[in-house]
Amino acid sequence: MLGAFRHLFRLARKPVPTVALTIRSRIPLARGLGSSAAAIVAGLVLANHWMKGRFDDEDIFREARHLEGHPDNVAPAIFGGLTLSLPLHDGRVEALKASDAARLGITLAVPSIQVSTRRARALLPKTIPLRRAVETTARGHGPGAHSRDPSLRTLAEALRDVYHVPYARG
């Protein structure tokens, strides 16, 4: 958190103030649930508040992605709700917030093992077979095809992770 706080002041070419913080978070550490993203966003938002809102949400999103190394958890930490990070062809990333997320029930599973994001991502292959990519892309588009009222089966299939889970299981 303090690293992100300092980062934004340095980016603004402002002297970094000395602060003492007490941080309490109920987000489990090293479980892939966004504890590091939340800390980064908290530091950036605090620094931005200190600087009277010099940066907008898109600036904060860009810097959070830079510090975290990926947009996965920083997008919902900044924009709230159920948020998807969509990489664009020009290198930008757009945060898409689901408008009807309140209708969904969410079950959160907290893994018993702890592993850093960096280590977990190191387990993933650098490439995946084309067939797996095509199948997963098709599944991901399923809810959009049934946008009025996707069935639970369609949603469950769309969320079936064949990119990460097979490698995490070893």
Q: pLDDT by residue (tens digit) across 82-124?
A: 887 888 888 888 888 776 666 777 777 887 888 877 787 788 8
CATH number, domain of 16, equals 3.30.230.10
Provide the residue range defining the domain that includes 53. 2-100
Q: pLDDT by residue (tens digit) across 43-92?
A: 999 999 999 999 999 999 999 999 998 888 899 999 988 887 888 888 88
With tokens 């070893």, the residue in question is: 170
Q: How many domains does the chain have?
A: 1
| 109 found inside a domain | no
